[in-house]
Amino acid sequence: MPELNLPLIFLLILALYILSSIKILAEYERGVIFRLGRVLPKPKGPGLVLVFQPVDRMVRVSLRLETLDVPPQDVITRDNVTVKVNAVVFWRVIDPQRAVLEVTNFLYTTSQLAQTTLRSILGEVELDELLSKRERLNARLQTVLDQDTDPWGIKIAKVEVKQVDLPDVMVRAIARQAEAERERRAKVIHAEGESMASEKLAQAAATLQREPVAIQLRYLQTLVEIGSEKNTTVVFPLPLDVFASLSQMMDRVAASPPPAPANHGAQLPGAPA
């Protein structure tokens, strides 16, 4: 029976153990190493890292920007309107050691915190503000979440409210409100146009009153425009002062007394002398 080469076997086992202890961390990864239950002062990586199990245990942490989709939440606004709101949170780990030591599962915990914060912040505003001031609400959500997750070594880069689902009754009410607003604007614009037109007409009337010849030129221009359209009927405009002069003349004729009969001094036959 051949003898076993114990030193060679030992060296082979040692080589396999060292090979299994080699860990390679990418540029965006860091390794939090626990040695006999105690964490090492500084995270390892990137590059080649030796983890001697079972003495050492390594937790990989990614430093890349992550996306967290917040599921739809039932939110009651300050004016008692129930809406469904979902959002997306952009976050990254800036301190791997605190992210591992301070919280059990930082991804799950951040997700739950984002849901509760979303309901809390959006419940303090009215529906109109929720629909029209989205940017300000996003900034407020980001600030609150960032403050709460800072002890965990997590940075909230951005929060975006993705969609706000309204009840059908509110959708119809908002549509009626928008239609009424458009009608109001149309009436205001029409009234402003009428006011400007009346001012221009008043200026034109004043100019024509100062220059009587201008009205005659305007009449001639109107005749040229009518003739260019190949119309069979031509309406010739007359100034209103002509009708006024005729009316005054007829009034004077009607008011004057009838002429007295002429007396030539002749007597009728049979009349007394």
Domains recognised in the chain with CATH numbers: 6-62 (no CATH), 66-166 (3.30.479.30)
Unique residue bearing structure tokens 């967290």: 68
pLDDT band at residue 109 using 50, 70 and 90 as cut-offs: very high
> What is the predicted pLDDT for the residue at 91?
95
Ranges of H-type helices in the chain: 6-21, 96-101, 106-122, 127-132, 134-149, 168-210, 212-228, 240-255
- Using CA atoms in the order 210, 214, 216, 221, what is the torsion angle rounded to 10 degrees? -150
For 129-148, write each residue's pLDDT tens digit: 888 889 999 999 999 999 99
Q: How far apart are CA 149 and CA 214, in angstroms?
A: 81
Q: How far apart are CA 117 and CA 183, in angstroms?
A: 39
> What is the predicted pLDDT for the residue at 271?
46
Are the C-beta atoms of residues 143 and 192 closer than 8 Å to each other?
no
For 192-230, write each residue's pLDDT tens digit: 888 888 888 788 777 767 766 666 667 667 766 666 666
